[in-house]
């Protein structure tokens, strides 16, 4: 297995991975939704606003994570949003997702990224350093349907410091259905 930064703008394989993984865990509607999100992020987001990392096994993508730029009204901190994340069902519960996220974090740190944020399961993301935060610390781009899932990690401090004002995500994920 190898971890790689992925650069292709035309990847049906990534869309299919997200669709399959989320269909298996959440149903067909969610699978199509998240598969389309991954596809839209890849096709319609400026490359400087996007990092995609994959795990390959026998020349096949078995896991993928996508980081997209997150901007703040009152701060110039370099931040990215981790979403979505998928590990092929047959490879889950083996630490592949955690190791891929750690690989991505190391790459982002080298590129001078200071903060990463995600919206998901604290039991999973806490294993790779994310901590629950409130919107008083950092306001989400859209209304959160599950506020307990708002998580962040600073690469420059032991704690996530408050950032006042609104935050803005890239267009592909700027839809209430994802929040």
Q: What is the pLDDT of residues 79-91, one digit of tens each?
A: 999 999 999 999 9
Check: CB of residue 55 under 8 Å from CB of residue 35: no
Residue 151 belongs to domain with CATH number = 3.40.630.30
User: Distance between CA atoms of 136 and 163, rounded to whole angstroms?
Assistant: 8
**Computed from CA positions of residues 167, 170, 175, 179, in that sequence, does the dihedral angle turn out positive or negative?**
negative
- Residue 72: which domain range? 2-178
The position carrying tokens 């901007």 is 71
pTM as predicted: 0.96
DSSP helix/strand/coil, 101:
helix
Q: How confident is the model at residue 7 (pLDDT cuts 50, 70, 90)?
A: confident
The total number of structural domains in the chain stands at 1
Q: What is the pLDDT of residues 144-179, one digit of tens each?
A: 999 999 999 999 999 999 999 999 999 999 999 999
DSSP helix/strand/coil, 106:
helix
């Amino acid at each position: 297995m190898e971890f790689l930064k992925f650069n292709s703008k035309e990847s049906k394989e990534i869309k299919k991975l997200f669709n399959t993984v989320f269909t298996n865990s959440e149903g067909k509607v969610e699978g199509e939704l998240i598969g389309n999100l991954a596809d839209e992020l890849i096709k319609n987001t400026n490359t400087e606003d996007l990092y995609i990392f994959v795990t390959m096994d026998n020349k096949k993508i078995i896991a993928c994570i996508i980081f997209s730029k997150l901007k703040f009204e009152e701060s110039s901190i370099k931040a990215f949003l981790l979403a979505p994340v998928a590990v092929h069902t047959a490879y889950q519960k083996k630490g592949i997702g955690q190791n891929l996220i750690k690989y991505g974090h190391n790459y982002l740190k080298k590129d001078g990224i200071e903060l990463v944020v995600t919206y998901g399961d604290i039991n999973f993301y806490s294993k790779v350093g994310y901590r629950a935060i409130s919107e008083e610390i950092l306001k989400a781009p859209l209304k959160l349907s599950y506020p307990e899932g708002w998580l962040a990690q600073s690469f420059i401090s032991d704690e996530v410091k408050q950032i006042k004002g609104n935050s803005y995500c890239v267009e592909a994920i700027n839809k209430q259905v994802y929040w």
